[in-house]
Amino acid sequence: MFVIWVGSLAFVALGVAGCIILPIFTVKDTPNVTKKESCLLTLILTVVAVVCLWMFWICMYLHQLNPLISPKHRVEDEHAHAGGR
């Protein structure tokens, strides 16, 4: 359970860092889009991307934790293998 919290906090940190750093490089004032709208779009897309990445990560982690189909190991007799040789 500790790994889930640490991983989730890493994605929160990634999201916060992205929301701080990305607008510096991506926000522009164009004839069709104002600087405020461009900044808002950058923030929304950053949050949506981080949430989608977190959901993908948490699903993959939880599926590995409890697989749907558990492997079934067959116990075979050692003499059956030796007799075939």
| pLDDT tens digits for range 13-71 | 999 999 999 999 999 999 999 999 999 999 999 999 999 999 999 999 988 887 666 66
Computed on alpha carbons and rounded to an integer, the radius of gyration of the chain in Å comes to: 25
pLDDT at residue 33, rounded to an integer: 94
Domain ranges in the chain are 14-65
Q: From CA 76, how far away is CA 74, in angstroms rounded?
A: 6
Task: Measure Cα distances from 15 to 4, 19, 55, 67 in Å.
Answer: 16, 6, 13, 29
Q: Residue 76: pLDDT band by 50, 70, 90 thresholds?
A: confident
